[in-house]
Amino acid sequence: KGPTGSVPSRRLSDAGQGHRVSGITTTNLDLSESLSLNRFRSWSTDTGDIAEEPNTCCSHVRLCLSYFNLIGAFKIPTGAIDSFVVALRSRYSQRAAYHNWSHAFTTLHATFLLLDSWAFWGLLPPEDTLGLLLAALGHDVEHLGYTNSFLVNTRHVLALRYNDISVLENHHASTTCTLLASGRAGE
């Protein structure tokens, strides 16, 4: 059941009819946004194409945040979301076979779908939902393509910085939070 105790509609097939879906009303979406959101709400969506284009990435992140009414609840400027996404995307290695932007965006998609499932419906407060979605995007930012053990054993600068404890995880979290806190994600 949804937060109000009623069973919320989980379909956007009636988009444009003014139906309420999670935090947004479908009449607030233009047709392409409605179709994008409907497509994004499927486990069969290939996120690789979406992840390739920066503008498409930004619009999908905005849709995810809007879907859970996070933009309105936290008064997040659209430009701040776009700057954060672009800055984060630029810090993912293009050489990494796995820990790259496509993987980060796929993780966002999976996290979005799990949060949208009946198991999580209304379970988490908005700040936790926002945190999970942003963490999904930043969870491997600036990954070097090596394991924590390798970084510790080679006395890499990151291993020294983080005292050999969860080196990569600490670095990903630090980088993501630094971009968020700066308010100037593009710098």
φ, ψ dihedrals at 123, nearest 5°: -75, -40
Confidence at residue 13, expressed as pLDDT on a 0 to 100 scale: 36
Confidence at residue 114, expressed as pLDDT on a 0 to 100 scale: 96
Confidence at residue 28, expressed as pLDDT on a 0 to 100 scale: 60
Query: Largest Cα–Cα distance in the chain?
Result: 60
Residue ranges, the chain, pLDDT below 50: 1-22, 24-27, 185-187
pLDDT tens-digit map of 78-93:
999 999 999 999 999 9
Q: Is residue 99 annotated as a catalytic residue, yes or no?
A: yes
Helices (H), the chain: 31-40, 47-52, 54-67, 70-74, 78-90, 101-116, 126-138, 148-153, 157-161, 167-182
φ, ψ dihedrals at 22, nearest 5°: 50, -125
Tokens (6 digits) for 122: 């209304």
DSSP 40-73: HTSTT--HHHHHHSHHHHHHHHHHHHHHTTHHHH
Confidence at residue 186, expressed as pLDDT on a 0 to 100 scale: 43
Residue of 19, 60, 99, 172 with catalytic role = 99
